[in-house]
Structure 1
Amino acid sequence: MQRKKLTHVECPIARSLDQVGEWWSILLMRDALHGLRRFDAFSQSLGIAPNMLTRRLNALVEAGMLERVPYSQRPLRYEYVPTTKGEDFASVLMAFVDWGNRHYAAEGESVQVVDRDTGKRLQLAFTDPEDGRVLAPEQCTVQPGPAASDAMRERLGRKHARPALTT
């Protein structure tokens, strides 16, 4: 059965999931952003079947998240290097770390997001681009953007008990 494509859905969450929502893809991006580049390194890290790894890497290249760069001519072999779009995915992965630590780390945190220079633990927040104010995610909501359809405006116009991402 063919999986439904979400690339033409208006919701940015759905569009993003269409590109990287498969869990192997997210784990491959995690490893690529952590410095892994070669097929064998991904295979060893994830224990993924070679045919599945090939499909996922090709899909991430097609999505513009990774770039295939030859590192050997005989035999021809490639490295998979994060693109600018792929590097931007780091913030999504760090949000997963933050959320996963709060909800699925009963035994304690095995991974933390920290300041690279000081080693101090960080928490997820958003910054107002005009005045620099820092807001916690619970202080944020979504609203229709300039390109929103009438259906999206109506969906986001509904009042909820707690502001949430309901695109």
Structure 2
Amino acid sequence: MSARVRVEDRECPLSTAMSYVGEWWTMLILHDCFDGYSRFDQFQANIGLSSSMLTARLKTLVDNGILTKRAYQERPVRYEYVLTDFGRSLRPILVAMAAWRNEQLAPSERAMVLVDSETGREVEPVTIDPVSGVSVSDPRFAFRSGPAAGEQMRARYARPRARDV
């Protein structure tokens, strides 16, 4: 996890998640991984990132357990970068981000869409509460401090929210 996270935010899941993936290039690398790319030269060709910057980003993703590095060629040794289970768990986040942006565009303006690969039908992903069936974007759902919350987190959520005032 990056040291850029403020000490008081280290227990906040949003802050810590952003320390793993909250950078432009990281998201593009992950997008490539979900599209089936795994090699340095593929990432570089698709993203256009300098070798040194791409090397640094891939190292961070490996160090954070999002990708694993494995040799695919012996002479010379060449590596590919493969999503771990932890890394694959980020797919719904990227899908949601793309859907969020597409939602703001007319269908004719969408350069990339999510489709059911069996039917070809475009799909609009939503995140719902499985008990109520209500979208979690509904204002009735709110963050509160959890059982592991420290003093600052508890104080944050002990205050009335703007909506509650």
| Same fold flag (TM > 0.5) | yes
Matched, 1:70 2:87: no
TM-score scaled by structure 2? 0.84
Contact 1:7-1:15 at 8 Å conserved across structures: no
Q: Which residue of 2 aligns with 1:148?
A: 149
Q: Is the 8 A contact 1:7 1:18 kept in 2?
A: no
Cα displacement (A) at 1:161? 2.2
The reply to whether residue 121 of structure 1 matches residue 123 of structure 2 is yes
Offset of residue 114 of structure 1: 3.3
Report the identity percentage: 32
User: How far is 1:33 from its partner?
Assistant: 1.2
Aligned equivalents of 1:160, 1:62: Cα separation in 2: 39
Distance 2:102 2:150 in 1: 36
Cα distance change of structure 1 residues 31 and 87 upon mapping to structure 2, 3 Å threshold: same
Q: Is the 8 A contact 1:115 1:122 kept in 2?
A: no
- CA separation of 1:117 and 1:135: change in aligned 2, threshold 3 A: farther
Q: Return 5+ residue gaps in structure 1 as ranges.
A: 163-167
* 2:42 corresponds to 1:53: no
Deviates more, 1:111-120 or 1:34-43: 111-120
Distance 1:25 1:5 in 2: 15
- Alpha-carbon spacing, 1:7–1:38, altered in 2? closer, same or farther (3 Å): farther
Q: 2:44 aligns to what? A: 43
Could you report, residue by residue, the CA deviation over 1:105-159 in whole angstroms, capped at 9, with x for unpaired residues? 366222223334332412322232xx4x422132232221111123212212322
Change (3 A) 1:137 1:81: same
- SS state at 2:162 partner: coil
RMSD (Å), alpha carbons: 2.1
Residue 43 of structure 1 contacts residue 50 of structure 1 at CA under 8 Å; is this kept in 2? yes
Q: Does the CA-based 8 Å contact 2:69-2:80 persist in structure 1?
A: yes
The alpha carbon displacement at 1:53 in A equals 0.5
Q: SS of the counterpart of 1:138?
A: coil
Q: What's the TM-score once normalised by structure 1's chain length? A: 0.83
List runs of 5+ in structure 2 lacking aligned partners: none
Deviations 1:2-27 (A, max 9, x none): x8522851211111111111110111
Corresponding letter in the other structure for 1:20: V
Aligned residue for 1:80? 81
The residue matched to 1:79 in structure 2 has which SS?
strand
Instruction: Report 1:91-110 matches (<5 A).
Output: 91-103=92-104, 105=105, 108-110=109-111
Give the counterpart letter for 1:86 in structure 2. G
User: d(CA) in 2 for partners of 1:84 and 1:96?
Assistant: 20
Contact 2:129 2:136 in 1 (8 A): no
